[in-house]
Amino acid sequence: MADPMHFEAHAEIYGEARPPYPPALWDYLHGLGVLERGRRALDIGAGTGQATGPLLAAGLDVTAVEPGPRLAARLRRAHPDAVVINERAEDVELPDSGFDIAIAATSIHWIDLDIVLPKIHRALTPDGKFLVWRNVFGDPETRTPFRERVARIVQDRGASPRVGPDPDDVAALSEELTRSSLFSVDVVRTFRWNIELNDRQVFRLFSTFSDWTSEEADRAAAAVRELGGTVVEHYTTWLVALTPTPATTR
- Between 8 and 142, the more confident residue is 142
Position 73 in a domain:
yes
**pLDDT tens readout for residues 87-130:** 999 999 999 999 999 999 999 988 999 999 999 999 999 999 99
Taking the model in full, what pTM does it have? 0.90
**pLDDT tens readout for residues 210-243:** 888 999 999 999 999 999 999 999 999 999 999 9
What are the strands of the beta sheet with 40-44, ordered from one edge?
83-85, 61-65, 40-44, 99-105, 124-136, 230-244, 183-198
Position 14 in a domain:
yes
The confidence score (pLDDT) of residue 13 equals 67
Domain interval for residue 70: 6-139+165-194+235-249
**Rounded Cα–Cα distance for residues 138 and 236 (Å):** 7
Mean of pLDDT values over 14-39: 92
Is pLDDT at 250 greater than 50 in this prediction? no
Cα torsion 82, 194, 135, 207 to 10°: value is: -90
The confidence score (pLDDT) of residue 2 equals 47
The confidence score (pLDDT) of residue 158 equals 77
Position 181 in a domain:
yes
Strands (E), the chain: 40-44, 61-65, 83-85, 99-105, 124-136, 183-198, 230-244
Q: Partners of 196 in the beta sheet?
A: 232
Position 199 in a domain:
no
Mean of pLDDT values over 187-213: 94
The contacts of residue 68 (CB under 8 Å, 6+ apart) are: 5, 7, 8, 11, 86
Position 189 in a domain:
yes
**Rounded Cα–Cα distance for residues 27 and 50 (Å):** 16
**pLDDT tens readout for residues 30-62:** 999 999 999 999 999 999 999 999 999 999 999
Position 202 in a domain:
no
**Number of domains composing the chain:** 1
Contact 15, 48 (CB under 8 A): yes
**pLDDT tens readout for residues 70-89:** 899 999 999 999 999 999 99
Position 216 in a domain:
no
Position 27 in a domain:
yes
Residues comprising the chain, all counted: 250
**pLDDT tens readout for residues 141-192:** 999 999 999 999 999 987 654 555 566 789 999 999 999 999 999 999 999 9
CATH at residue 120: 3.40.50.150
